[in-house]
Amino acid sequence: MYTILVVDDSPMIVDVFVTMLTRKDYKTVRAYSGKECMQILQKTKPDLILLDIMMEPMDGWETLEKIKNNPETADIPVVMLTAKPLTGEEAAEYGAYMEDYILKPTTHEHLYDTIEHVLERRDAIRNDTERARKAGFDEKFIEEYETLCRSADVDKRLLKIIEASYGNQIPKLYSKEKISSTISDINESIRQQEERLQHLRDQLTKPKEKTETA
């Protein structure tokens, strides 16, 4: 059974999410501030954190940075909760830290799908790296694989956020050409990373060729 930490400074919102998660048989832990979240993480390590952005005095972004900059909690997946779409600036600054984000209010189906996707992706990477170690692949290979998996996911999230944030409404200080160029660059980065990842995955299925990592 997975444990989900729900963090929001509105007790009512926490109750709503806890009720939704309980229906899916998730175990839940509650926190009503960024500070309380960090205190809980000193004793409990959940499988995933649902973290609201608009909190006081320590908002969700500051809390997220504290979580990810702490070696003891950095590997915990974090899904941000927000009442409005993320901006491109927020995506660029925090995209590497968060696994995904959910717009409030949300449906049961979207909440479950997001959580399950994040946890399945994390478990798949863990299984792959464990298999690589058992097969005798060196740590350099494993580190590259893990890094590429994370960076490719970050780029995909960033692309999704930019497209959702801007759409056909380009802010005045940005040109359509600049946004289009940014999207094109991210797509190319994803393509290159996916190509390299496929090469590494092919080697994972052929342990006898593990030394050919270049």
Q: Would you write out the chain's pLDDT as a tens digit for each of its 214 residues?
A: 899 999 999 999 999 999 999 999 999 999 999 999 999 999 999 999 999 999 999 999 999 999 999 999 999 999 999 988 777 678 778 877 888 889 898 999 999 999 999 999 889 888 989 989 988 999 999 989 988 888 888 788 778 777 766 654 444 444 566 667 778 888 888 999 999 999 998 888 875 554 444 4
The sign of the dihedral angle between the CA atoms of 74, 79, 81, 82 is positive
pLDDT (0 to 100) of residue 115: 96
Question: What predicted TM-score, i.e. pTM, was given to this entire model?
Answer: 0.79
Specify whether the CB–CB gap between 66 and 34 falls below 8 A: yes
- The single-letter code of the amino acid at 123 is D
pLDDT digits (tens, 9 = 90+) for 129-183: 998 998 899 999 998 998 888 888 878 877 877 776 665 444 444 456 666 777 8
DSSP classification of residue 212: -
* Token digits of residue 190: 């994803």
Q: Whole-angstrom Cα distance, residue 173 to residue 201?
A: 42
pLDDT (0 to 100) of residue 58: 95
Specify whether the CB–CB gap between 159 and 185 falls below 8 A: no
Specify whether the CB–CB gap between 95 and 152 falls below 8 A: no
pLDDT (0 to 100) of residue 170: 44
Instruction: Kindly list the structural domains of the chain, giving each domain's residue range(s) and its CATH number in brackets, ordered by start.
Output: 3-209 (3.40.50.2300)
Those residues whose C-beta lies under 8 Å from the C-beta of residue 12, and which sit 6 or more positions away, are none
